């Protein structure tokens, strides 16, 4: 895509801003449809929010007739510098909006507990996201925002979503905006999401370049009292050369090329922005444990750490090898331990505002604990001890099940006996433990509905003594099924040929 011209070049920055402010006011006054601004704390969403804020503040008070909701989705695994920035910004916005009597309402959105990153990775054992199994984006980012917008549309019939998307960002973004810019309403485009077809899109800075965005943020004071120069410094600190140069030609890099996101992201090999922040600023050295954890433990080369069975216990063959499923119990324990150690180090090394930073919340830990004990039948309830060893502090929540009849010593003895009988991979121990737990869960029921089906599934999952035995069986089964299908296909072809011959005769 060719380099775009500055939106300020022809008429100047002041005329451009005045035009956009007047346009925004006109669209705002046209109807009673509520507005929703998507705010990430980055330069584009900051510029967009600032423009809308200016437009509203210049309207008479009696014309500010409908609410403008500012939504920011915290995935709970964001770069902590950016996360703290956004959180403080939302707090400042809320206070400033009240003081300025503006109908602006900030909202911090988070994923539902079942959708959170650590709950799925460490709790359920989902392998780290990868191109063919990118389970994180929908759960962490899209669902919280879509749920808020859906509720708004259901309540009001329609909504206008104000975004900081720009055609200059990338060829793909430019094509997407062009595809959806035709509208029955001037300056509003249709939402590409079919579930939100009653939510319109307004992109006031769609024609701006990166330099236009920075020029505006530097030239115009932030109306809710935040410091745009600090935002510029944050972007500059996230680039390897520590510069936000004046762009003079297409070969010159821009601050706009800096990207922030989840520090756990395995869709890229390195978190370059966090690495650059640490390199460029001695005061950000406290993030090193976080970066080290990410680089060492969050990997897509994890086959050896994953169960040879799928999540449902089934065996799946691809290219004469078993397709591995969730992380093994031992690796999930290790991941949690290392994450808690990193959290402890960050809190110790960091400044005052990160002394209580949660890389993983107690709410997440309790859900992980429930999944391990209740769903995965890991009745040793290992999480509190892992927490204590990693942090040096007692786990702050009471026992999960006061009626648990099997104690850690009992389970240790059972595991020892299974090992002595040749259970090197712990499969038979896991089977025995699951059967004991299933019986315990159903012991007080008058009708043990579903118990036998659960026992059948457990026995099927634990039918093999080791991975090699399971793989040999699964490959042979896959080959037999393939042979049968080929035979059936050939037989069908013979029947068709014979039928055609009879018709000809």
Residue 496 scores a pLDDT above 80: no
pLDDT computed for residue 251 by the predictor: 45
Average pLDDT, the chain: 87
What is the mean pLDDT of the segment spanning 170-174?
44
pLDDT computed for residue 485 by the predictor: 86
User: In the structure encoding, which two tokens stand for residue 469, read together?
Assistant: 């035995």
CATH number 3.40.50.620 given to 13-116+128-229: yes
Coil/strand/helix, residue 381: coil
pLDDT band at 318 (very low <50, low <70, confident <90, very high): very high
What digits encode the pLDDT tens for the residues 365-402? 999 999 999 999 999 999 999 999 999 999 999 877 76
Residue 67 scores a pLDDT above 90: yes
Residue 112 scores a pLDDT above 90: yes
Alpha helices in 78-204 (DSSP H): 80-99, 117-118, 136-137, 143-156, 171-179
What digits encode the pLDDT tens for the residues 130-153? 988 999 989 999 899 999 999 999
Long-range contacts, stretch 45-49, CB < 8 angstroms, 24+ apart: 45/163, 45/164, 46/164, 46/217, 46/222, 46/228, 46/231, 47/164, 47/205, 47/208, 47/213, 47/216, 47/217, 48/162, 48/163, 48/164, 48/203, 48/204, 48/205, 49/93, 49/164
Q: Could you tell me which of 172, 128, 365, 364 has the C-alpha nearest to residue 262?
A: 128
What residues does each domain of the chain span?
13-116+128-229
What is the mean pLDDT of the segment spanning 466-493?
86
Please state which of the ranges 56-60, 123-127, 177-181 shows the lowest mean pLDDT: 177-181
pLDDT computed for residue 473 by the predictor: 93
Residue 406 scores a pLDDT above 60: yes
Give the highest mean pLDDT range of 93-107, 269-283, 305-319.
93-107
pLDDT computed for residue 487 by the predictor: 84
What is the mean pLDDT of the segment spanning 491-501?
63
User: In the structure encoding, which two tokens stand for residue 339, read together?
Assistant: 């994450």
């Amino acid at each position: 895509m060719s380099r775009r011209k500055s939106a300020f070049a022809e008429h100047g920055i002041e005329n451009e801003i005045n035009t956009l402010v007047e346009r925004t006011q006109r669209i705002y006054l046209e109807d009673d449809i509520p507005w929703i601004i998507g705010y990430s704390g980055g330069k584009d969403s900051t510029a967009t929010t600032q423009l809308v804020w200016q437009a509203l503040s210049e309207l008479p008070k009696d014309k500010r007739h409908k609410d403008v909701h500012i939504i920011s989705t915290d995935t709970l695994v964001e770069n902590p510098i950016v996360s703290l920035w956004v959180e403080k910004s939302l707090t400042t916005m809320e206070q400033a909006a009240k003081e300025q009597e503006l109908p602006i309402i900030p909202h911090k959105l988070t994923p539902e507990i079942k959708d959170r990153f650590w709950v799925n990775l460490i709790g359920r054992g989902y392998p780290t996201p990868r191109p063919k199994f990118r389970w994180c984006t929908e759960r962490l980012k899209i669902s919280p925002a879509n749920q808020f917008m859906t509720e708004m549309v259901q309540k009001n019939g329609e909504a206008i979503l104000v975004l900081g998307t720009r055609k200059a960002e990338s060829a793909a973004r430019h094509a997407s905006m062009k595809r959806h810019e035709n509208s029955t309403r001037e300056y509003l485009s249709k939402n590409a999401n079919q579930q939100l077809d009653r939510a319109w899109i307004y992109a006031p800075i769609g024609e701006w370049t990166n330099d236009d965005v920075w020029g505006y943020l530097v030239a115009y004071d932030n109306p809710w009292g935040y410091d745009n120069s600090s935002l510029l410094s944050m972007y500059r600190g996230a680039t390897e050369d520590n510069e936000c140069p004046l762009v003079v030609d297409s070969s010159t890099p821009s601050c706009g090329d800096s990207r922030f996101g989840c520090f756990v992201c395995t869709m890229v090999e390195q978190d370059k922005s966090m690495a650059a922040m640490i390199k460029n600023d001695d005061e950000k050295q406290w993030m090193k444990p976080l970066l080290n954890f990410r680089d060492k433990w969050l990997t897509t080369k994890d086959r050896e750490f994953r169960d040879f069975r799928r999540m449902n216990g089934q065996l799946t063959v691809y290219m004469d090898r078993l397709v591995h499923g969730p992380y093994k119990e031992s690796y999930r324990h290790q991941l949690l331990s290392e994450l808690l150690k990193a959290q402890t180090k960050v809190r110790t090394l960091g400044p005052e505002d990160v002394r209580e930073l949660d890389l993983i919340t107690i709410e997440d830990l309790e859900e992980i604990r429930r999944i391990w004990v209740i769903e995965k039948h890991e009745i040793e309830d290992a999480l509190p001890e892992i927490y204590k060893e990693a942090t040096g502090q007692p786990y702050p929540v009471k026992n999960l099940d006061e009626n648990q009849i099997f104690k850690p010593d009992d389970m240790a003895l059972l595991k020892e006996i299974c090992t002595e009988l040749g259970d090197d991979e712990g499969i038979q121990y896991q089977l025995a433990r699951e059967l004991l737990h299933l019986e315990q869960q159903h012991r007080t029921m008058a009708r043990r509905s579903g118990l036998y089906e659960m026992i059948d599934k457990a026995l099927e999952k634990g039918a093999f003594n080791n991975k090699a035995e399971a793989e040999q069986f699964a490959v042979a089964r896959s080959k037999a099924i393939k042979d049968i299908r080929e035979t059936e296909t050939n037989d069908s072809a013979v029947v068709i040929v014979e039928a055609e011959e009879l018709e000809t005769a």
